[in-house]
Amino acid sequence: MAYRSILVPLDGGEQGRRVLDIAHGLASEAGSHLDVFHAQPDSKEAVPLLGEGMSGAMIEEMMELADRDATAKSAVARKIYDELVGKHNLPVVERGPGSGGVTASWAQETGREDELVARRGRTSDLIVMGRPETDAERPSLMTLHAAIFETGKPVLIVPPSNSENFGKRIAIAWNGSVEASRAAAAAMPFLQKAEQVVIMSFETEKSANRLMPADLARYLSWHGVKTIEETVSPAGRAVGEALLLQCQKEGADMLVMGAYTHSRVIQIILGGVTRHVITASEIPLLMSH
């Protein structure tokens, strides 16, 4: 099992350079294809309310500013891609099978980034994205949530801090749910190479009567993955906070967990375990819904 096709959305921010480097490192291990994608915003969507108090000149000026900003970000995204392809002399191909080594391709479309990434992500093995650096980055956060909840594929979320070397000590957040099971299975290429895998089971009301950590350990053993089991009590803390604290105690450099929500919009507004872990984790996260 390997990630043969890796989608890397670039929004034109400088963080994309580091994210693409990390994706290339993963692709190098399996000779995978890097599907680098940029969604250029439609300037018409930059003016959500064309109503009272706005003259035609004001609307036109706003759209021109939006167009210039979108063009500049598209240029940065393409530059980051071209630099990676040139640096590693990557073959540029559109369809498989590849050359046996890392290959790459570039695609750009105009429209809402969250919708386009959700559509393209459904035909990828893995999506690699940077974590929004501030909670105010609403478009990036919506795209990230779309990748997690609307593709059915695992998403590797890279934090702003240095994280080039990771995956040696992996923690799995386990509550026996379908989402947690999918995340563990999706992370198999990482788990099989890890030096240590810790199954962290949290004692909560929702985790009662579900699959126990021993069940997951037995499943992973059939794939050659040796595990350590730890049962953790939140001890009055929020589950997300307790989870990240336990990762620190275990020395984990990567976290695998299921993503949970009833509504992507509600999750963005109200928060929750998934939201807290995404915005606060300092180690890479592999999430699956």
Please provide residue 67's backbone torsions phi and psi, each rounded to the nearest 5 degrees: -65, -45
Please provide residue 10's backbone torsions phi and psi, each rounded to the nearest 5 degrees: -115, 125
Domains contained in the chain, CATH given: 5-158 (3.40.50.620), 169-288 (3.40.50.620)
pTM of the model: 0.90
Q: What pLDDT does residue 272 have?
A: 77
Q: pLDDT in tens for each of the 289 residues of the chain?
A: 689 999 999 999 888 999 999 999 999 999 999 999 999 988 776 565 555 566 667 667 777 887 888 899 999 999 999 999 999 999 999 888 877 899 999 999 999 999 999 999 999 999 999 988 655 455 688 899 899 999 999 999 999 876 678 999 999 999 888 999 999 999 999 999 999 999 999 766 655 556 789 999 999 999 999 999 998 887 778 888 999 999 999 999 999 999 876 555 555 544 578 888 988 999 999 999 9
Q: What pLDDT does residue 63 have?
A: 76
Q: What pLDDT does residue 205 have?
A: 61
Cα–Cα distance for residue pair 150/119, rounded to 1 Å: 8
Q: What pLDDT does residue 39 have?
A: 96
Q: What pLDDT does residue 270 have?
A: 44
Query: E-assigned strands of 187-237?
Result: 196-202, 227-232
Cα–Cα distance for residue pair 10/26, rounded to 1 Å: 17
For the chain, give me the number of helices (H) and strands (E)?
10, 10
Nearest to 217 by CA among 234, 231, 203: 231
Cα–Cα distance for residue pair 288/278, rounded to 1 Å: 12
Q: What pLDDT does residue 68 have?
A: 87
CB 227 within 8 A of CB 217: yes
Query: E-assigned strands of 132-242?
Result: 155-158, 169-174, 196-202, 227-232
